[in-house]
């Protein structure tokens, strides 16, 4: 089981305030998650350094689609500029959005 100190360190890294009463429950939950991840790694060969060539073909597939231009009949074709104009601020070719994650000081 994961130690109390490890739970507190994870909470600190995640910037979470953990009550003393929650630590034991989190120890059990995190240990369960880690045990499940261990089971998944066994399916992948039990070796974290397993390469795609070493896995059974049924477990290896590319989920990325080819990066191709949109066809003329596509609903989003020729809409790029309309979408870009909806952003209030632009810097060069980049849209600027409001910062939503801030570091506590």
| 42 — pLDDT class (breaks 50, 70, 90) | low
Q: Report the candidate in 27, 29, 37, 32 with the shortest Cα–Cα distance to residue 5.
A: 27
Q: Does residue 95 lie in a domain region?
A: no
Tell me: pLDDT of 62 over 90. no
Number of domains composing the chain:
1
Q: Does residue 99 lie in a domain region?
A: no
User: Percent of the chain scored above 90 by pLDDT?
Assistant: 28
Q: Does residue 37 lie in a domain region?
A: yes
Instruction: Write out the two tokens for 10.
Output: 């994870």
Task: Measure the CA–CA gap between 23 and 3, rounded to whole angstroms.
Answer: 9
| 9 — pLDDT class (breaks 50, 70, 90) | very high
Q: Does residue 60 lie in a domain region?
A: no
Range of the domain at 17: 4-48
pTM: 0.41
- Cβ atoms of residues 66 and 41 within 8 Å: no
Tell me: pLDDT of 12 over 90. yes
């Amino acid at each position: 089981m994961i130690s109390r100190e490890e739970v507190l360190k994870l909470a600190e890294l995640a910037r979470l305030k953990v009550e003393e009463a929650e630590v034991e429950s989190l120890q059990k939950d995190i240990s369960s998650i880690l045990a499940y991840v261990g089971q998944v790694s066994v399916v992948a060969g039990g070796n974290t350094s397993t390469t795609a060539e070493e896995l059974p073909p049924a477990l290896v597939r590319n989920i990325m689609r080819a990066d191709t231009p949109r066809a003329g009949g596509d609903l989003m074709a020729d809409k790029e500029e309309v979408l870009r104009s909806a952003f209030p601020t632009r810097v060069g070719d980049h849209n600027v959005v409001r910062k939503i994650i801030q570091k506590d000081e």
